[in-house]
Structure 1
């Protein structure tokens, strides 16, 4: 039996070999191009549910034009590429199979030329042309088949589980080699498109500066640097120092005369770009949260931090041992808030329940027993139900944080007229640098908490200590 299965595996492996259109190598793939395109189209629908498009048709069209210019000079120019600006403050960009490419407005804000935008998009086009996601999928499938073969041959199911874990570890993220390959391909596509491939290096510098800034801020707080950043989900990608060194040589070798940078054109397109939280997701200001479209505010304990996602708002203590999450659902007005809450927890037993009276609003809160116990609540407002759940980690008990959870829940209220401005997002605005003007002086008017001067330097490619030249366009925050 084992011999038969291994023969089948060998046949599948040989059948899956295909010439990579970008590198010319024989790669192991188990997906046709048609299947790749269908997979990308399906995933694209799911991505847009999680990450909505940024609401600026002019800027979306500009990004599509720049992306198409690069893609036309790639190894798979026949694909129908779709470039999307995502309404997210994250510093990220990514690609799906078949030519669906996304850049977050959080990353866009820190770029400083059209060539740098083309470099980011070119890098992602490189992932598509080299079929990195397809190769991942094929490797994952092969590991799964190997696990099944081992389980059949030995009669021990755990062996299959073990190889499945190995497979997941092997294919998570794109990995260092694929990221460097995408950098090299992106540099080629930049040069072929008439852009200065030095921009690829400038983008890597942008990412490195973000890492340095995050490290400096964490050191001030006495914390370790959290994993994250562009392509940093699993921390398997090449550190930016290594990428910087390995991309410099090939990129500079491609530089010719009359290579386009497009700084002024690009910066003009960014004027008015939302920076940080958007009105659609609500605005964090210190320990307070304001949502203009939904007309409410919440307050959190001093020292707590807020994580604002499209589908959930999470507040957590500084030591990350206490969390309270809020989500929004359609209310079932046939039910009282107490009945609605019981239904949402699967009719489990609730303890210490009490009615909530928040001005004219009604709600209900209780403790959901268990290990650990959790604080839950539902607040009705019109046809919407605001659901809260508070939970502790580690050895902390609900009793130690329950008062904080209740304070957050009870802080829910409609916005006052004078608070509506607080629910408006911060935006990038362009200004000409004046002689003798420093970023430290400009930062005094920064609407952001924390190190406003460092943020301005990061935005303008002047981190950690550069100063603008008189007459230069500067990105400011208002």
Structure 2
């Protein structure tokens, strides 16, 4: 078969993949039926819930589901069964899967100020679902894969790039400016139809732009590169006065008739007691220490090192992120000693510089696996669990240069002491009404948040960088 014939056949396949978009009225190229879309969303949802634990507050979960359903029933695909989930993560993010699975991290919830703003975030994600953005991304990826195969057949040379999971990439990094703007416009329409003030979409943009400015300011103070935002989409990449953003939200303002709800106080009351930063269920960082109440463990790491707390691993690393120690947990193997389990998991690789670990009354074993890069590995038993440590230096760096620090981290692993139990509890959001004379600087002195508490309180209350509260305003404080 010639390349020309293969491409012509591809064109025929593309023609059969056209479908009417229920939200925009366009004819879009898709290679997936609605039933396939629902099945894909269900499949991805199972994986997402494994990697992103559900926040264990059913009252808050029910409230978010209620707000989300109110918006979704006024969308272009109200027939879908939408599921809204609060993820137990301090990240500032929200995302959607095909078929109506929508997630919002509790870290983003903490910075919102009203039910209308919550509805704006959820409406934006509903917009991605109704416009079938993820399905379009997946279909385009499939088409390019077919084209690459056709070229390979005709020439004997593979011209197709490695097509990775386009759906997963879009969920994390966004769908591109046009799709994100479209989701904003659709979300704003759904807000207005649901009785919310569509201006809340702009207010959310302000919240996230302030986060971006804060991150830039903090990085400048530390002499570090500006970190990438965790939030995807137009919320992250556009100022609140962006012309195109105003244009897509404009029609929603025209739809808004009569009084548009904001519901600030109702929303804030649902935030009372919300963990800020890490939660007890995921473990809490305090300075250069890590405490986990549910597992009953503690860990220290060197001054200047950072910590990344993920559901699948706790990773401590140097400031330049070139050296790291990753700790994971699994069930211990009955009948196997820590040494035997470490050798089993090394899968025949030779261990050198081996030694027994007995710190904190626990039993463990460590050694180095030679190679490029070489790795320091260890297993420590506590109760019925095995804690595995893998430490390495990226690139061509020398393990020896950091191995002292690696062993410092591993040897610091210990049972949580009674005196440390309180440290394993997170800071929480609490509400109070501002009084005459209240200043953010004074309120921040009572906060135990370690990283610029005054700026953090201002961000939480929509007062960044220099605003002050008005008497009678509800304020979020941390304690």
TM-score w.r.t. structure 2 length? 0.95
SS across alignment from 1:324: strand
1:245–1:213 Cα change, 3 Å: farther
Is contact 1:282–1:289 with CA below 8 Å preserved after alignment?
yes
What is the distance in 2 between the residues matched to 1:420 and 1:166? Answer: 42
Compute the RMSD of aligned alpha carbons: 1.9
Matched-pair contact (CA < 8 Å) for 2:82–2:100: yes
Deviation at 1:250, TM superposition (A): 4.2
Bigger mean CA offset, 144-153 vs 245-254: 245-254
What's 1:154 paired with?
A: 155
Q: Deviations over 1:7-48 (max 9, x none)?
A: 221111000011111110110000000111111111111111
Partner of 1:45: 46
CA drift of 1:356 comes to 0.6
CA contact (8 A) 1:428 1:477 kept: yes
Structure 1 residues 109, 405: closer, same or farther in 2, change over 3 A? same
What does residue 244 of structure 2 align with?
A: 246
Instruction: Map 1:73-472 onto structure 2 (within 5 A).
Output: 73-157=74-158, 159-161=159-161, 164=163, 173-231=174-232, 239-241=237-239, 244-252=242-250, 253-254=253-254, 255-472=256-473
Shift of 1:237: 8.3
Q: For 1:283 and 1:170, locate their aligned partners in 2 and report how far apart those are by CA, in whole Å.
A: 29
Q: Cα gap change, 1:341/1:474 in structure 2, threshold over 3 Å: closer, same or farther?
A: same
* CA deviation profile, 1:79-105 (whole Å, cap 9, x unmatched): 111111111111000000000101000
What is the CA–CA distance in structure 2 between the aligned matches of 1:366 and 1:58, rounded to whole Å? 48
CA distance in 2, matches of 1:292, 1:285: 13
Report the CA distance between 1:160 and its aligned residue: 2.8
Equivalent pair of 2:372/2:396 in contact (CA under 8 Å): no
Specify whether residues 62 and 30 from structure 1 end up closer, same or farther in structure 2 by C-alpha distance, changes over 3 A only. same
C-alpha distance in 2, partners of 1:242/1:139? 31
Note the residue ranges of structure 1 that are not aligned, 5 or more in a row: none
Equivalent position SS for 2:239: helix
Mapped partners of 1:444, 1:245: distance in 2: 40
Separation of aligned partners in 2, 1:167 and 1:352: 44
Does the 8 A contact of 2:209 with 2:236 survive in 1?
no
* 1:309-347 deviation per Cα after TM superposition (whole angstroms, max 9, x unaligned): 111000001121210010001111311111100111212
Contact preservation (8 Å) 2:379, 2:386: yes
Question: Matched residue of 2:85: which SS?
Answer: strand
Name the SS for the 1:79 alignment partner: coil
Distance 2:366 2:237 in 1: 47
Secondary structure of 1:359's counterpart equals: helix
What are the Cα deviations for residues 40-82 of structure 1, in whole angstroms up to 9, with x where unaligned? 1111111111111111111111111100110011111111111
Count matched residues: 473
Question: How far 1:126 sits from its partner (Å)?
Answer: 0.1
**CA offsets, 1:363-398, max 9 Å, x none?**
001011000111111001121111001111234211
- Which TM-score applies when normalising by structure 1? 0.96
Change (3 A) 1:51 1:363: same
Give the Cα separation in 1 of the matches to 2:165 and 2:366.
Answer: 44
Counterpart Cα distance in 2 of 1:364 and 1:448: 36
Q: Post-superposition shift, 1:4?
A: 2.9
**Mapped contact 2:283–2:290 kept (Cα < 8 A):** yes
Contact between 2:134 and 2:167, CA under 8 Å: does it hold in 1? no
Q: 1:48 to 1:80 in 2, by over 3 A?
A: same
Q: Distance in 2 between matches of 1:378 and 1:353?
A: 12
- Per-residue Cα deviation, 1:269-322 (whole angstroms, up to 9, x for no partner): 111111110111100011100011111111000111110011100000112121
Q: What are the superposed Cα offsets for residues 93-143 of structure 1, whole Å, 9 maximum, x if unpaired?
A: 000000010100000110000000000000000000000000011000001
* 1:224–1:457 distance in 2 versus 1, CA, 3 Å: same
1:474 aligns with 2:475: yes
Q: Who is 1:18 aligned against? A: 19
1:219 aligned counterpart, secondary structure = helix
